[in-house]
A and B are shown apart, each in its own frame.
Chain A
């Protein structure tokens, strides 16, 4: 269960206070597939990072499976993220000097899994995403769509219960974007909770539920 209670967050931008989230309260039940839509600057990415334990709210609380995320110290919060949460970024954020296989191994390395098991699991995930013949390619040697698939394999490496995706199709052509959304539906059917920030209404419609953010408030959903 993901839960926000009276969460507020603001930034100072060139001396002006910008309200990113304004007294947001909401719940996402386990196994839900939620899309977050709204115009640029409406607070979507802030919302997602806050759910992932990456951005402390100015006020209010965020809960993951009943645990108040920001009452944990940073190390425990990182451990919870490693165990339960998978991130997908719009720009993929692959480590440029590592191969596809090694990029997928990172979460497994952080989880303390030994080398052989890391390689076997990472290779199996990349094969599942159709990249079995690209294991030793660096990101710069892969297409944009292939890079996003490596990022998806990396996100799944620790078998997270919650997937937080920030514009996962934003940089992709329509066909590749469609394939990624189909993959999201597939992992949703496995029982994972998915929260996806998107500008694309077509992509948002693939989710079971849509939350609309406007000027830091949830105005629909």
Chain B
């Protein structure tokens, strides 16, 4: 027989008295586990949605005004293309796709359009100085859409309209917005002449409802040459990881590029930040409740348990148990209950999250084994803390009064 046999037998002997207090801890842990589980997948889903919205940070010349996010680059102000290099060579975390742009007005068949130069991704990768900067590496915890190996890459026009980034584009190739294509009555494969240069239309972009529908996208260096603005840009669009934005990415870019203006789609990011804060506050609130209610309930049960077991404690002392043995007996019981509460709380909380998560947060929720450590930590910490003083009282009991033999 070991000390734990005594603990185990006693727990089952008086399980009814233990029930209510244990239930309080169990439910508390279950709720925390389920909130944390749902929150994690909810944050991932929101982050994925943000990524789907495309670029969420815009870097503009200092003097540029921001009336409309999608037309912010249509101003005459410029800054050096070298800013892109500064960003890629920096150690900033949470930057995903960079899209440097230069725009200029063009007239075709008497109609006004915008020609936007864009640097394709493959040219970033070709620049030795920018390699290894990890600019296109997936930021950790960002939740952005990850390319699946073996799966066909997204078509160029889809990538451009959604992410405002393009994989490849030749010097004489052009992509047209849907309104522009309709207006000029041209289709994919046709040619179009802009500023005396002939381009092959490689794609007509899907309708976006923005000013992009009246744009033509060509290679950045071609547009720079046509505009006579070598190595200059109107804007850099960035997909910033939402977590990194809430962690101060905009301020860091501002510090890196003091002569530029850095703006975000603030309301979307704010929503994400508010959701995250609300969930973490909710978790904290439950943690406080479980510590206060569950802890008080367990402490109350343990004090009653010590009182009820006075004679047993006295007998153990008469048989030679020191105060250390008695203290261990009660703390071991707390440990057993903490582990049991943590395990059961994790299982119940995970079931609640998996079943109710899709209904509450509208996202699929999967079990998170890491939360088992959380559940054990909370359960054991509360049980040990709440049981310490009752256990100490037991260890300090006067064996004579405990035996009630005098």
Q: Which residues of A contact B (CB under 8 A)?
A: 11, 20, 45-46, 49, 52, 54-55, 74-75, 78-79, 81-83, 87, 89-90, 93, 95-98, 102, 105-107, 109-111, 115, 118-119, 154, 158, 166
Within 8 A of A (CB), among B313-330: 314-325
Q: Which residues of A contact B405 (CB under 8 A)?
A: 45, 49, 89-90, 166
The answer, yes or no, to whether B311 is at the interface (CB within 8 Å) is: yes
Nearest residue (CB) in B for A92 is B315
Query: How many chain B residues have a CB neighbour from A under 8 Å?
Result: 28
Closest Cβ neighbor of B402 among chain A residues: A54
A-B contact count (CB 8 A): 84
Report chain B residues within 8 Å CB of A102. Answer: 1, 5, 9
Cβ of A208 to closest chain B Cβ, rounded Å: 25
Q: Report whether A74 and B322 are in contact in the complex, using a CB–CB cutoff of 8 Å.
A: yes
Asked if residues A49 and B320 are in contact (CB atoms below 8 Å), the reply is no
Taking a contact as CB atoms under 8 Å apart, the answer to whether B1 and A78 are in contact is no
Q: Can you name the residue of chain A whose Cβ is closest to the Cβ of B318?
A: A87
Q: Which residue of B lies closest to A75 (CB)?
A: B322
B320–A46 CB distance below 8 A: no
Interface set, chain B 334-352, CB cutoff 8 A to A: none
Query: Is the beta-carbon distance between B400 and A110 smaller than 8 angstroms?
Result: no
Asked whether A75 and B324 contact (CB < 8 A) given A45-B405, A95-B315, the answer is yes
When distances are taken between beta carbons in the complex, the residues of chain A under 8 Å from B324 are 75
Separation in Å of the A93 CB from the closest CB of chain B? 4
Task: Decide if A118 touches B1 in the complex (CB within 8 Å).
Answer: yes
Cβ–Cβ < 8 Å partners of A109 in chain B? 1-3
Whether the Cβ atoms of B5 and A106 lie closer than 8 Å is no
Q: Find residues 2-53 in chain B having any chain A CB closer than 8 Å to their own CB.
A: 2-3, 5-6, 9-10, 12-13
B318/A115 in contact, CB under 8 A: no
Residues of A near B325 (CB, < 8 A) are: 110
**Residue B403 is within 8 A (CB to CB) of chain A in the complex:** yes
A98, closest chain B residue (CB): B9
Of all A-B residue pairs in the complex, the 8 with the closest CB atoms, nearest first, are: A82-B320, A97-B13, A78-B322, A93-B315, A75-B322, A105-B1, A87-B318, A97-B9
| Pairwise interchain contact B13-A81, C-beta atoms closer than 8 A | no
B404, chain A: closest CB distance, angstroms: 9
Asked if A54 and B317 make an inter-chain contact with CB atoms under 8 angstroms apart, the answer reads yes
- A interface secondary structure, majority: helix
What separation, in Å, do the CA atoms of A111 and B316 have in the docked complex?
Answer: 12
Bound-state CA distance A58–B64 (Å) is 92
- Which A residues lie within 8 Å of B13 (CB)? 96-97
Contact B318 A81 (CB under 8 A): yes
With an 8 A cutoff between CB atoms, is B399 at the interface?
Answer: yes
CB contact under 8 A between A46 and B318, given known A75-B323, A102-B5, A115-B2: no
Asked whether A97 lies within 8 Å of B10 as measured between CB atoms, the reply is yes
Partner of A158, one of B314, B317, B320: B320
A78 and B2 contact, CB distance less than 8 A: no
CB-nearest residue of chain B relative to A113?
B1
Q: How distant is the Cα of A89 from the Cα of B314 in the complex, in angstroms?
A: 11
Q: Which residue of B lies closest to A167 (CB)?
A: B405
B406: Cβ under 8 A from any A Cβ: yes
Which residues on the A side are within 8 Å of B6 (C-beta)?
Answer: 95, 98
27 A-B pairs whose Cβ atoms sit less than 8 Å apart in the complex: A11-B406, A20-B406, A45-B406, A49-B406, A74-B323, A75-B322, A75-B324, A78-B321, A78-B323, A81-B319, A82-B319, A82-B320, A82-B321, A87-B318, A93-B311, A93-B315, A97-B9, A97-B10, A97-B13, A98-B9, A102-B5, A102-B9, A105-B1, A110-B316, A110-B321, A118-B1, A158-B320
B2 touches A83 (CB 8 A): no
Residue on B with the closest CB to A104? Answer: B1
Known: A82-B319, A93-B314. 20 other contacts (CB 8 A): A45-B406, A46-B406, A52-B318, A54-B399, A74-B322, A74-B323, A75-B322, A75-B324, A78-B320, A82-B320, A83-B320, A89-B318, A93-B311, A95-B312, A97-B10, A98-B6, A102-B9, A107-B320, A110-B320, A115-B2
